[in-house]
Structure 1
């Protein structure tokens, strides 16, 4: 099928839900390594190692006997909860993956009102509930306006960070508030629109059933009170030169592989570890001062003055499906949390799909379906070959354009 041509480059895979980004790489490896399409790549790599080993006699035997895998990586992690475009590189294509970390991305997300969790999404444990009978499509439309353009966004206040060698959720279980600074950072939202509005009783999106333990809720409430005292969204142009700092901590531990689908990741390689987690924000600082409780008043974007309560007149909360095109470093789950806050309620992210990353989209002619891998090389082989050939042509066109 491939002759002796060596296929390398970048392609996109449609990641399904409940599968980690590392799982996708392992799946590709299990099918690419024994395939006819990548046999020339394996043989070329083996020959290169043999030539290299002959010049390095000390390591020749070890290098020749080492198992050869197809070099594969991904350019930007997606949570197990999330679906959509996962850009992957093969062979020399892995060297281009860093180009996809800083590009704009488009997401579709479902936000459910009335509750929030320790992870800001439906895989976490409920730490707070809020009223939602007053939340309407018109109110959401109005609230979204403040999140468009260049804004300062706070990362989620709950994380799996360590302070002085101790995990933050361990502090929470002990009823302590470990001090840590989380800084707002500039992001840009070039498009943010409602795709669909779900009235109560018309959809299947639900809150998670698990409640956080009372000691964790107590710590979470103190952290959320600090968050309540902050503006919902501040324009990046209007932001003061001095850094905005929120002293906060984590009340619970998040699953290592589901910290941030929208957070930028270093390029992965074939040496994939079981932990597909996102690293902590680089500007995290540990403080020696004990965090103090902040005022509990919460500014609301709507005219309602209804206090937060766990009792609501509707049996099911409203939900909204939104689409957004955002810059690197944007947290979709933080947008869900902040939207609930802006409406005088609570909210969490129920569903997430990355529909575009750079030029890759969910169109059938631009992405490899994950299920095609199990259908055999006769199904996925021609598609992967076509994607890599198209990538090679694109690189040649870009090179000619750059030299003209």
Structure 2
């Protein structure tokens, strides 16, 4: 190889290593836009690949001289609250030390907009499932619908969907169901609905906005609401419009902005923990799941 070519490759790799160092020095949380279709894990992997283009595994057709380094994880990244593959919207991401902040995002307030269809229930409670029941909805008026919403505001009890990321014997319930195994529903648990409003009512379709706390399933809400109205329903479209301080319009970076520059500008830095907080986190981390393993928030059925 000519000396000029070697020099060009060396310069290029030096630039890439500099970019990687900047990426690895990022610590905090930011929000990205998850489109409808891929799982939350898929989206996170796509984000990681976009950012790790700076990592010099190969350059100018020259193989990495030390392929073992490829197995290393040069970037620590995770998300704070799974979205269904059929859902879109705000997905909060932690990078570096920011991954330790994600448990707070899981417990915090979130906002969703859901489009439901009356008259048909599915096994997954959304449009991806098989229709298992059909009922009339002609008796439901806008006034009756809005009145019934009041029963689902505040502290309520909710049974998580069977098709969810919740686990039984270490395996996701959705996976067990797809394998043909029988799965019992988890017991009802307390969840919080801060606000719930009807945005559009054009039977059989309706649109609702909901602000809720952690561990809440919008699919279960729509199912329970329809049953309370002596009918049935499922979700056709679901979008998370806000999670914690991050809103869909102002903060969620779309895929064309998944760059080091854009993320650095959007990054909310980690607060520096005190000595006591550091010790508490060490003790806590031994007993808590990683953020991407946590459940709820309309947990993904495939992720």
State the TM-score, normalized to the length of structure 2.
0.70
Q: Report if the CA contact (8 A) 1:14-1:367 is conserved.
A: yes
1:153 aligns to what?
A: 158
2:48 aligns to what?
A: 29
Tell me the distance in 2 between the aligned counterparts of 1:138 and 1:24: 40
Of 222, 231, 246 in structure 2, the residue corresponding to residue 336 of structure 1 is: 222
2:190 aligns to what?
A: 186
Q: CA deviation at 1:371?
A: 3.8
Quickly say closer, same or farther: Cα 1:33–1:130, change in 2 above 3 A. same
Of 118, 123, 128 in structure 2, the residue corresponding to residue 118 of structure 1 is: 123
2:29 pairs with 1:10: yes
1:287 aligns to what?
A: none
Q: CA deviation at 1:170?
A: 6.7
Q: Report if the CA contact (8 A) 1:16-1:370 is conserved.
A: no
- Name the SS for the 1:124 alignment partner: coil
Quickly say closer, same or farther: Cα 1:64–1:101, change in 2 above 3 A. same
Q: CA deviation at 1:134?
A: 1.6
Quickly say closer, same or farther: Cα 1:72–1:162, change in 2 above 3 A. closer
Quickly say closer, same or farther: Cα 1:387–1:159, change in 2 above 3 A. closer
- Name the SS for the 2:29 alignment partner: strand
Q: CA deviation at 1:67?
A: 3.5
- Name the SS for the 2:53 alignment partner: coil
2:61 aligns to what?
A: none
Q: Report if the CA contact (8 A) 2:159-2:185 is conserved.
A: no
Consecutive unaligned residues of structure 2, counting only runs of 5 or more, are 1-14, 58-65, 278-303
Larger Rg: 1
2:300 aligns to what?
A: none
Query: What do the CA deviations read for 1:207-248 (whole angstroms, capped 9, x no partner)?
Result: xxxxxxxxxxxxxxxxxxxxxxxxxxxxxxxxxxxxxxxxxx
1:234 aligns to what?
A: none
Tell me the distance in 1 between the aligned counterparts of 2:179 and 2:47: 37
Q: Report if the CA contact (8 A) 1:116-1:347 is conserved.
A: yes
Tell me the distance in 1 between the aligned counterparts of 2:157 and 2:71: 48
- Name the SS for the 1:97 alignment partner: helix
Of 84, 88, 91 in structure 2, the residue corresponding to residue 86 of structure 1 is: 91
2:105 pairs with 1:100: yes
Consecutive unaligned residues of structure 1, counting only runs of 5 or more, are 43-60, 173-177, 200-317, 374-379
Aligned residues: 243
2:264 aligns to what?
A: 385
Give runs of aligned pairs for residues 1-400 of structure 1, distance below 5 A.
5=22, 6-35=25-54, 66-157=71-162, 167-168=176-177, 180=184, 182-199=186-203, 318-364=204-250, 366-373=251-258, 380-388=259-267, 391-392=268-269, 395=271
Tell me the distance in 2 between the aligned counterparts of 1:334 and 1:371: 33
Quickly say closer, same or farther: Cα 1:148–1:125, change in 2 above 3 A. same
Q: Report if the CA contact (8 A) 1:109-1:321 is conserved.
A: yes
Tell me the distance in 2 between the aligned counterparts of 1:194 and 1:12: 27
Q: Report if the CA contact (8 A) 1:162-1:168 is conserved.
A: no
Q: Report if the CA contact (8 A) 1:112-1:350 is conserved.
A: yes
Quickly say closer, same or farther: Cα 1:347–1:370, change in 2 above 3 A. same
Tell me the distance in 2 between the aligned counterparts of 1:189 and 1:144: 11
Q: CA deviation at 1:125?
A: 0.2
1:207 aligns to what?
A: none
Q: CA deviation at 1:345?
A: 1.0
Query: What do the CA deviations read for 1:259-288 (whole angstroms, capped 9, x no partner)?
Result: xxxxxxxxxxxxxxxxxxxxxxxxxxxxxx
Q: CA RMSD in A?
A: 3.3
Q: CA deviation at 1:147?
A: 0.4
Q: CA deviation at 1:363?
A: 2.3
